[in-house]
Structure 1
Amino acid sequence: MKRQVAPRKVFAIVALSGLFAAPVFAAGETFVVDPNHTYPRFEYNHLGYSKQIQRFNKTSGTIVVDRAAKTGAVDISIDARSVDTGYPLFDEHIQGEDYFDTANYPTITYQSTAVKFEDDKPVSVEGLLTIKGVTKPVTLTVTSFHAMPHPMLKKDAIGANAVAQIKRSDFNAGKNAPYVSDEVTLSIAVEALKQ
């Protein structure tokens, strides 16, 4: 003869299972950075003549987005040795001690501490940027965000553009300022595929 489970016990079991399931739902969806379509750039004024724009060619990381809960997380690593100015001699120069010092600090990282949403789209990311072993708070303004299935890879994907302003001197890389501007505009174009 089957034993009947009291309705209260059934409710308690369902409630407990819901508690254990909740963190999985709240974690959102994880997207892996597509290194072929993700290029951080930095822009500075050169002697008052022009604004120069350079980039890094190797970036990795993950982005977590829960649009329903309006939460997210960003964890990005940039290979500072992949800096690309279009001029190999200058690439070597800015990897020296006075600038990126890639011999001692080959990686630049950015880890979010908070993501702000409007409706179901992120509009800014607060986080910690580490360059040359120096970590400073930096807020990225998200200028565009798009989520949809990738038409060729048949996977869910996201893409975004974001910008921020920093000072080179805050990261012990301020040589030649103010002739070469201390103020630098960071911009990143990122695409990522669902894990």
Structure 2
Amino acid sequence: MKKIVALLIAAGISMAATAAPETYVIDGTHTFPRFEYSHFGYSNQVSRFDKTEGKIVIDKAAKSGSVDVTIDAKSVNTGFPVFNNHIQGEDFFDTAKFPTITYKSTKLNFAGDKLASVDGNLTIKGVTKPVTLTVTSFQCMPHPMLKKDACGANAVAKVLRSEFGAGKYAPYVGDEVTLTFAVEAVKE
């Protein structure tokens, strides 16, 4: 009986060791947060940020983890330099006072073994609001070129820009903004 108990304890310790959280560093060359909004009802405009950093921690066995992302708001890329400067002004991102946008998770939600959504807090212009990202794809596997494990995901959420103090010209320029995150991260 003592041997069985010892075996069960050893198995429990062994299982706990395999369920350790893994940390992935965001690859800024393959991570581009985007935002989309209606422009006077004529078209939906899509822009992105070119500089993003952060870490993602995942414990697949425990179905838990964290996401901590910082976006350089001055790296906004609309495809037009004059407009990049315009939306960095006080009426929108106010990058002189608030040079970064952050997202910090409060909970990762799994459906079976797949990451389904991330609950967290989005901060823009010093205003923090809860935002849930719906994960539309998620994949972890060995990276064929880097020879390290890597994870990638796509996620989407909708926010009202007026709730973050960036509502100028609403409702003519759409208040509802679709945020899309394409992220890749490499194991630390």
Would you say same fold, with TM above 0.5?
A: yes
Q: Superposition pairs for residues 54-93 of structure 1, below 5 Å?
A: 54-93=47-86
Corresponding residue pairs, total: 182
Q: Give the C-alpha shift of residue 85 in structure 1.
A: 0.4
One of 91, 103, 125 as aligned partner of 2:96: 103
Cα distance in 2 for residues equivalent to 1:114 and 1:177: 32
Alpha-carbon offset, residue 121 of structure 1 = 1.3
Alignment of 1:146-161 (within 5 A): 146-161=139-154
What residue number does 1:181 align with? 174
Which residue number corresponds to residue 141 of structure 1?
134
Which residue does the alignment assign to 1:116? 109
What does the per-residue CA deviation read over 1:62-107, in whole Å, with 9 as the maximum and x for residues that have no partner?
0011111111210000000000001000000000000000000000
Answer yes or no: is the 8 Å Cα contact 2:19–2:60 preserved in 1: no
Q: State the TM-score, normalized to the length of structure 1.
A: 0.88
Match of 1:38 among 19, 31, 46: 31
Amino acid across the alignment from 1:55: R
Q: Distance between the aligned counterparts of 1:164 and 1:121, measured in 2?
A: 18
**Where does structure 2 lack aligned partners over 5 or more consecutive residues?**
none
Deviation per residue, 1:5-24 (Å, 9 max, x gap): xx8xxx7xx88xx5xx95x7
* Whole-Å separation in 2 of the counterparts to 1:26 and 1:111: 23
- Normalization by structure 2: what TM-score? 0.91
Aligned residue number for residue 194 of structure 1: 187
Is the 8 Å Cα contact of residues 44 and 52 (structure 1) preserved in structure 2? yes
Flag the structure with larger Rg. Answer: 1
Letter in 1 for 2:84: D
Paired AA for residue 51 in structure 1: N
User: Alignment partner of 1:169: what SS?
Assistant: helix
Amino acid at match of 2:109: K
Return the alpha-carbon distance in structure 1 between the equivalents of residues 112 and 119 of structure 2.
18
Q: State the Cα distance separating 1:27 from its structure 2 match.
A: 4.8
CA contact (8 A) 2:120 2:132 kept: yes
Equivalent residue number for residue 3 of structure 1: none
Contact 1:125 1:142 in 2 (8 A): yes
Percent identity, aligned pairs only, is: 66
Q: CA deviation at 1:26?
A: 5.3
Structure 1 residue 187: Cα displacement:
0.2
SS in 1 for 2:29: helix
